[in-house]
Structure 1
Amino acid sequence: MEHKTQAKSPLRFKRWTNKSYSIFRTIGKTITIGTLASAMLAISSVDVFGQQNQQHSFATDSINKMAEVDVEGEKSAMMLPLLDATIVFSAQEIQRAGVQNLQDLLQFVNGLDLKTRGNEGVQADISYRGSTFDQIAILINGINFTDPQTGHHNLNIPIIFSEIERIEILRGPGAWSAGNIAFAGAINIIYKEKKNNKQTQCKLVAGDHNYINGEISTNLSWNKFHILAGLNHSQSTGYIENTDFKISNFYTLAGYRDPKLGAINFQFGLSSKDFGANSFYTIKYKEQYEETRSLITSLSHEKSWHNWRSSASLYFRQHRDMFQLFRNSAPTWYTGHNYHVTNTLGANVQLSKKSKWGITTASIDYRDESILSSNLGELLETPQYDQLYCDTVFKKGKNRTHFSGALTHKYFYKGNTITLGIMESGNNDYGFKTYGGINFENRSWIKNGIVNFFINNSYRLPTFTDLYYSSPSQTGNPDLKPEQSLNTEFSYRHIYKAFTMEVALFYKYGFQLIDWVKLPTEEKWHSENLQNIATIGTDIQFSYKPKNGFINKFSINYTFLDMQQMESHYLSLYVSDYLKNQVNIHLDHDIYKGFSANWLLSFYDRNGTYLDKITLEEHPYPSYFVCNLKINYQRNNYQIFMEVANLFNQEYFDYPHIISPGRWLKMGILIKL
């Protein structure tokens, strides 16, 4: 018997035409989003309890200011981490790096594994320290915009690359404000906020494979108001057959600050991607094609008074996905394209109190996730009609609600900081569970050194794809349970003048982990709670950033992972092919009178094997080395640059049989007005 679910009515846009710029036609027009009349949250921050006793600043304002990073602007006010955020790229480093999109930048972050299905921001699965791509949370200005359908869509978000202030990583499940999705960690993208200033930027880039990228943005402030707005478009005919793409983004961030009223912030963004998906999801069919549309929006308020601080946020994300197994002509047995619409509505309230005992924070988080689909979910009692996708009728859907409450206390004593946290988290399908953690930090034992230790646990709900996906090669499992893990880490960081060194040892035991598996005799992959895995690893990082000299920055980072799985007769689709060894090298140096060079180099050694499609034999994943180079010429308010991705023309792949591009040359100009 099929279960029937009454789903909510779909949220509706005006119809987009089949143009690369059509997503922007919705700007300034009425967009109906259910009962949500407006858009919702950005990030803001005000001084914490004035300037009293800086040592006792909020845990939410704690960011690891490594020596190689210059931090300006506001800190992540909406975060409630047990652990501090680590800044991996500053605004200056992003501007000077030899990439033009977030996806390609993140592949040079230590511990992150970016498995790409097409470069230049088309699509990538992101994991951290051996996690799967569904176990990472994606935040913009501290707001959780993680996709509930599948981790494949997590990076389908509006990115104005030139206006990013910094990119942070929160290790482990310490990013509690991300809800119960931050299983392995969170990536937080912070946009710039100008103060008493204004700036407009224009960028134009052209390159191989008929690549074009244009971006314009403005960032200004006056009195108590500030606003950022930008849009961009990139496209290419592709590096091989059916890898063409068109990507467009629009984003705006507006805010108001008043000493009495506090800080109010609003953000809104749209993203559109159309791309050929040659062998992306199955090697049997080369003519796959996909279109995605994303909307994010949020509203927040934050205020500090005396020894108190409150913050509240409301956010919404909609994602639309249309997938064609056959882009042009289809065989008679083909039943039609896949259509999916997911809606995520959430709210978060936090209240913090500072006392002589430290800082205590209580928070409540609500998150509602729903999907309407042609093949994901349970059979609907009443089919839902959607005009956007060629008058599509959705016959399946699912709705679920999460609720969590957390209490955190941060205690300071003689150079020691102890943070305790407990969370009660529940779901209408799985009930409530209790989770907690402890973090210890010392800054007094060793001069210029920081010792840190934490232990905590977390869980993650199955995605809608895990539960309901059905295709000729895969079958979901509606009886899946949440996956869980126990995590611990010890780290030491030492900062001396222009040098920074950090060593971290970490251990994670995951149980009831969700993976797509099959027996050697089976044809189809199916999702199961089969994997119990112990992961042990180390991160070693070294950086040098002098204030003056030929070298602007040099860093080298190494990550090692070893994952031990329980004995099993099943083959694994995702869990076993992790990065066993990863080395990232970053060198930024001057050349002569305004000329400089930026090198990003990475070595990847992947665990596991893949099946050769011709010989049908198993082979270990080959190791590979990638180098990106950017030559800059900076003069006054303009920058002329040349980029070469994959400088040495290495042939490599992250997914078997999806060959990545070879050497790709681009040239461009950036003007600041």
Structure 2
Amino acid sequence: MKKLFLGFVLLAGWLSGIKAQENLDPVTVTSSLIEARSSETGRNITIISGETLAKLPVHSVDELLKYIPGVEAQMRGPQGAQTDISIRGGTFQQVLVILDGLRLNDPNTGHFTGYIPISPAEIEQVEVLKGASSAIYGSDAVGGVINIITKAFDKNKQTNQTQVAGQVAAGEYGLLDAAIGGFYQNDKINIGAGLQTNNSNGVAQRGIRGYFHNTAASAGAMIKLNPCWNIALRTAYDKRDFAAQNFYTTSVYDTASEKVTSWWNQARIQYQKNRTQLSLNAGYKSLEDAYYFSPTSAPNNNRSHLFQALATLQQQFSGQTDLIAGLNYQYKDIRSNDRGNHNLNTAAPFVSLIQKAGAHFMLNPSLRMEFYGNLPAEWVPQLTASYKLEHLQLRASGGKTIRNADFTELYNNYNKSEVTRGSIGNPDLAAEKSWGYEAGFDWFYQSKLKISSSFFQRFHAELIDWVNTPYEEMPRKTNLVPNGSYALAKNVAKVNTTGWETDIAYTQRFAADQSLLINSGFIWMYSSSSEQDPSFYILSHARFLANGVITYQAGSFSVSLTGIYKTRTPQTNTDINAIITKDYFLMNGRASYAFLKRRWAVFVQVDNILDRRYSDLLGAPMPGRWTQAGISFSLAK
């Protein structure tokens, strides 16, 4: 079955037909903040439209990422409970998620990166930029950047339109999911809003059930004041209440649960005239996390805040030269009974030049200077180049990336009265640094097939790892005991990663009401560490990963499949009867039939069709086959 699926994905791209269904070379802003066709950026970018997202058998935005080529989403629980995101073998802290241009990564821990406070109905497109991007985006943009662009903030949408869509579904284990959203636009205003909720009693676990109650609600608007000025506003609420057994420990007594609630507010004012664009962005995020090791234990209560301001100037001097300059400021703080109370200021000016030479060659040097608290300033350079012919783009990029420690790595278990064992934060951590390069190509066949392939290497230094450390060697013993068992956060590891990835996107309309869409790929990676016994997180990425989506529609009938196959380092823990297998293959499917002028549809969805036993985290098994059915509607004019 694995070979059949992979063979179909790779060979289906060579089908021929009449007319393309979807643009395989859309406009993107993620690589350099300048709008450009993806084939003109010099970077490997995967773009999934919101329309495609709505047709897939996925329950949340972070679950969608699991099937984007080159992205590994290590799921700890179903339907958005918690997901660690990895791109090109980076750790879960080394991926930056941004929403309409502003960063979402929480200052407390990278485990919250997948908590994206946006309802799927509001998404215009998801752009995934693979590889080093710290020169533009700063800390965390090591493995890549995930940029969520919403309909309301998309200033390029011009047509008057009204859209309303929703669905409700029920299934096994008390599953009840619902979603609704709408968008309205005229020549003066864009307004979008949406709500999604996923709920289940969950499958049986050790002493508890793997329940979840996850809800996201969001609304955004852009007012076009005149041909030059526009103002955009957004607010979003995200709440997740879920079983978290063995998410953070491998203890047999772990029957944990967790509640994570966040608010996100964002404002943007933008001016554009002739060849000049000025944008001022501000965002504020508040996140509250309550973690219970067991129903009777006192919770770890963490409340983190992130305020940020971003000013950018884009100036086109000619058809051949563009300049981007900007300044990013962030204020972060945490109030915690576990980590204590701390705050941090960061600032970073940056500049990027896009220089074209003739009709084919582009050069893009970028430079950023990152000021992070009391640490020494970091210079972050990057250089990207591309050569584009009619159907082929040759590209290369190289530069430096950085990642600064989060509050968990700095202060974990810092504020408790007594700690007998566990991970201990270290406020003396320096920033992780890496140098990397990549080279590859994008090949387009007509407007229906795109094949991208890249070779990359990344060389890390001072990677942050949790290292088993005797009591005598601990730098701070205030709340520790002499016979305790501890792992201290240290800058110790050197990790080198080498990889090769290939992506295939194919879209085809065979007739007026028959179409096929395929987006798939594979990535092979090998990493080596200077540590004899590196932590699970450093080398937890898949060694080989193939994933993708297939959507086929014929008249009123449509079917969508998502698939993933990965190989990784196996693990076992007999105390909790847990296993990480050497590999696994997973497939989800959704079939629907539309009626009443295709405004309504009934559907059946099956997750884990083959009923595989699998886990991405030791001790956190994912559910087996899970069936649901429902009804959806979509109205547009």
Relative to the length of structure 1, the TM-score reads 0.81
CA deviations on 1:607-631 (whole Å, 9 max, x unpaired) are: 3x42422499x98742000001110
Which of residues 398, 403, 409 in structure 1 aligns to 2:353? 409
Which of residues 266, 277, 298 in structure 2 aligns to 1:298? 266
Gapped regions of structure 1 (runs ≥ 5): 1-66, 331-335, 377-395
Structure 1 residues 464 and 170: alpha-carbon distance in aligned structure 2, compared to 1, 3 A threshold: same
C-alpha contact 2:81 2:242 (8 A) present in aligned 1: yes
Aligned to 2:124: 165
**Structure 1 segment 82-481 matched on structure 2, within 5 A:** 84=43, 86-174=45-133, 176-193=135-152, 195-240=159-204, 241-284=208-251, 285-327=253-295, 329-330=296-297, 336-356=298-318, 358-376=321-339, 396-414=340-358, 415-444=360-389, 447-470=390-413, 472-481=421-430
Distance across 2 between alignment mates of 1:346 and 1:367? 4
Residue 653 of structure 1 deviates from its aligned partner by 0.7
SS of equivalent to 2:620: coil
Aligned to 1:23: none
Letter in 2 for 1:629: G
Letter in 2 for 1:518: N
C-alpha contact 1:404 1:424 (8 A) present in aligned 2: yes
Distance across 2 between alignment mates of 1:492 and 1:664? 39
Residue 171 of structure 1 deviates from its aligned partner by 2.0
Letter in 2 for 1:397: N
CA deviations on 1:538-595 (whole Å, 9 max, x unpaired) are: 01122322232555123441100011222x344423112221001114322235x411
Structure 1 residues 239 and 642: alpha-carbon distance in aligned structure 2, compared to 1, 3 A threshold: same
Letter in 1 for 2:145: A
1:606 aligns with 2:559: no
Residue 146 of structure 1 deviates from its aligned partner by 0.9
Distance across 2 between alignment mates of 1:587 and 1:324? 40
SS of equivalent to 1:132: coil
Structure 1 residues 614 and 75: alpha-carbon distance in aligned structure 2, compared to 1, 3 A threshold: closer
C-alpha contact 2:117 2:237 (8 A) present in aligned 1: yes
C-alpha contact 2:455 2:501 (8 A) present in aligned 1: yes
Structure 1 residues 640 and 528: alpha-carbon distance in aligned structure 2, compared to 1, 3 A threshold: same
Letter in 2 for 1:403: A
Letter in 2 for 1:434: W
CA deviations on 1:377-413 (whole Å, 9 max, x unpaired) are: xxxxxxxxxxxxxxxxxxx211111111111111011
SS of equivalent to 1:575: coil
Distance across 2 between alignment mates of 1:473 and 1:204? 43
CA deviations on 1:69-104 (whole Å, 9 max, x unpaired) are: 538998548963886572332123211111121122
SS of equivalent to 1:579: coil
CA deviations on 1:82-133 (whole Å, 9 max, x unpaired) are: 8657233212321111112112211112222211111111111111111111
SS of equivalent to 2:377: strand
**Structure 1 segment 548-567 matched on structure 2, within 5 A:** 548=510, 552-566=516-530
Distance across 1 between alignment mates of 2:71 and 2:115? 18
Residue 528 of structure 1 deviates from its aligned partner by 1.3
Distance across 1 between alignment mates of 2:166 and 2:564? 30
**Structure 1 segment 534-553 matched on structure 2, within 5 A:** 534-548=496-510, 552-553=516-517
Structure 1 residues 440 and 577: alpha-carbon distance in aligned structure 2, compared to 1, 3 A threshold: same
CA deviations on 1:12-34 (whole Å, 9 max, x unpaired) are: xxxxxxxxxxxxxxxxxxxxxxx
SS of equivalent to 1:92: helix
Distance across 1 between alignment mates of 2:91 and 2:399? 19
Distance across 2 between alignment mates of 1:362 and 1:474? 40
Distance across 1 between alignment mates of 2:24 and 2:222? 20
Which of residues 514, 534, 549 in structure 1 aligns to 2:464? 514
Distance across 1 between alignment mates of 2:26 and 2:100? 12
C-alpha contact 2:270 2:278 (8 A) present in aligned 1: yes
Structure 1 residues 482 and 281: alpha-carbon distance in aligned structure 2, compared to 1, 3 A threshold: same
Aligned-pair identity in percent equals: 22
Distance across 1 between alignment mates of 2:115 and 2:50? 21
C-alpha contact 1:314 1:348 (8 A) present in aligned 2: yes
Aligned to 2:475: none
Distance across 1 between alignment mates of 2:90 and 2:437? 15
Distance across 2 between alignment mates of 1:229 and 1:633? 26
Aligned to 1:70: 23
Task: State which drifts further: 519-528 or 263-272.
Answer: 519-528
Letter in 2 for 1:88: I
SS of equivalent to 2:222: strand
Distance across 2 between alignment mates of 1:572 and 1:492? 34
Structure 1 residues 288 and 623: alpha-carbon distance in aligned structure 2, compared to 1, 3 A threshold: same
1:624 aligns with 2:584: yes
C-alpha contact 1:85 1:168 (8 A) present in aligned 2: no
C-alpha contact 2:452 2:502 (8 A) present in aligned 1: yes
Letter in 1 for 2:617: Y
Residue 368 of structure 1 deviates from its aligned partner by 0.7
C-alpha contact 1:137 1:185 (8 A) present in aligned 2: yes
Letter in 2 for 1:305: K
SS of equivalent to 1:631: strand
Letter in 1 for 2:133: G
By relative contact order (CA 8 Å, sep 6+), the higher-ranking structure is 2
Aligned to 2:607: 645
Relative to the length of structure 2, the TM-score reads 0.86
Aligned to 1:45: none
C-alpha contact 1:467 1:479 (8 A) present in aligned 2: yes
Letter in 2 for 1:271: D
SS of equivalent to 1:572: coil
Aligned to 1:49: none
Structure 1 residues 298 and 84: alpha-carbon distance in aligned structure 2, compared to 1, 3 A threshold: farther
Distance across 2 between alignment mates of 1:76 and 1:143? 13
Distance across 2 between alignment mates of 1:314 and 1:213? 33
C-alpha contact 1:83 1:170 (8 A) present in aligned 2: no
Aligned to 1:35: none
Letter in 1 for 2:335: L
Displacement over 6 Å in runs of 4+:
71-74, 519-522
SS of equivalent to 2:462: strand
Aligned to 1:634: 594
Gapped regions of structure 2 (runs ≥ 5): 1-19, 35-40, 414-418, 472-483
Distance across 2 between alignment mates of 1:513 and 1:184? 13
**Structure 1 segment 564-575 matched on structure 2, within 5 A:** 564-566=528-530, 568-575=531-538
Residue 426 of structure 1 deviates from its aligned partner by 0.7
Aligned to 1:490: 439
SS of equivalent to 2:62: helix
Letter in 1 for 2:261: R
C-alpha contact 2:316 2:322 (8 A) present in aligned 1: yes
CA deviations on 1:465-494 (whole Å, 9 max, x unpaired) are: 011112632112221110001010101111
Letter in 2 for 1:494: W
C-alpha contact 2:179 2:194 (8 A) present in aligned 1: yes
